Amino acid sequence: MARYLHGHAPSVLASHTVRTAENSCGHLLPHLREGMRVLDVGCGPATITLDLAELVGPSGQVTGLELLEETLELGRAEAARRGDERTRFEAGDVMALPYADGSFDVVHAHQVLQHLTDPVAALREMWRVLAPGGVLAVRDADYAEMSWHPQPRELDRWRELYLAIARANEATPDAARHLRAWARAAGLENIELGASTWAYADEETCSWWGNLWQKRALTSRFTEEVLERELASQQELEEISSAWQAWGSDADAMFIMTHGELLAFRPTV
């Protein structure tokens, strides 16, 4: 299993906790019905998970799954904040899900496959726990395709370092473009693919994204991996951090993040 590159430092969570079902799994929403049993694999801080719980209503049942018990505390805290006492948070590995075949009507994963060494086996496992008539939904990013302006050399270097670490961990940072191949290799059926973006293109979101990476460059698992692998010096990380800050306060700044989207519908018989 690949080492989860981002980690759960506050600077990382700042980017994950703004996620909603609407901005992160719009492709799944038309297929949700009240009463569905939903599994959200790699749920992280669970803002998407808990939105899904609202959408399937009180007759539905949502489970957020995370690798480590300590990460589940993030989801439990967000559930308590929202007054959601129904959603379950359980520890487990997507490579060996602790559920019987056909246990869920929806199996969802947002930005998880890009971190795994064997995403095809993960999809097979997600498909196994999907009930006949159910839908599997995945959305994953493509770091190599992210684009931004202005484009100082320090931010190109940031991407170069990110890609190098992810690949050294045998993960796939350009996961989006692989979704069709992975789905076919995993034997999924009734596949639909698409793409969508997040765009940061106003003062508020650019400043938020720039400040966040200003911190993440110096205080997250990314920082540790760069230094441990001696890919760059502390000095270079500080230059990258400052470049992010400057980018975020540039009135012309814009950042576009491409995602691939996969739906697969399990036949009813």
Ligand X SMILES: C[S@@+](CC[C@H](N)C(=O)[O-])C[C@H]1O[C@@H](n2cnc3c(N)ncnc32)[C@H](O)[C@@H]1O
**Residues linked to residue 88 through DSSP beta bridges, in sequence order:** 63
Q: How far is the CB of 94 from ligand X (least distance, A)?
A: 4
Considering only residues 205 to 244 of the shown chain, the ones binding ligand X according to CB under 6 A are none
Size of the site for ligand X (CB under 6 A): 23
Q: How far is the CB of 35 from ligand X (least distance, A)?
A: 23
> By rule CB under 6 A, what string of x and - marks binding of each residue 103-142 to ligand X?
-------xxx--x---------------------------
**Closer of 65 and 161 to ligand X (Cβ):** 65
Q: How far is the CB of 49 from ligand X (least distance, A)?
A: 8
Fill in the amino acid letter for 6.
H
Q: Is 71 a residue that touches ligand X (CB under 6 A)? A: yes
Q: Is 173 a residue that touches ligand X (CB under 6 A)? A: no
d(CA 264, CA 15): 28
Q: Which residue in 95, 164, 195, 254 binds ligand X (CB under 6 A)?
A: 95
Q: How far is the CB of 119 from ligand X (least distance, A)?
A: 10
**Closer of 209 and 239 to ligand X (Cβ):** 209
> By rule CB under 6 A, what string of x and - marks binding of each residue 14-53 to ligand X?
--x--x----x----------------xxxxx--x-----
**Closer of 49 and 154 to ligand X (Cβ):** 49
Q: Which residue in 67, 163, 164, 254 binds ligand X (CB under 6 A)?
A: 67
**Closer of 111 and 172 to ligand X (Cβ):** 111
Fill in the amino acid letter for 237.
L
Q: How far is the CB of 68 from ligand X (least distance, A)?
A: 7
Q: Output the DSSP codes for the chain.
A: ----SS---HHHHHHHTT--HHHH-TTTGGG--TT-EEEEET-TT-HHHHHHHHHH-TT-EEEEEESSHHHHHHHHHHHHHHT--S-EEEE-BTTB-SS-TT-EEEEEEES-GGG-S-HHHHHHHHHHTEEEEEEEEEEEE-GGG-EEES--HHHHHHHHHHHHHHHHTT--TTGGGGHHHHHHHTT--SEEEEEEEEEE-SHHHHHHHHHHHHHHHHHSHHHHHHHHTTSS-HHHHHHHHHHHHHHHT-TT-EEEEEEEEEEEE----
Binding residues vs ligand X (CB under 6 A): 1, 4, 6, 16, 19, 24, 41-45, 48, 65-67, 71, 93-95, 110-112, 115
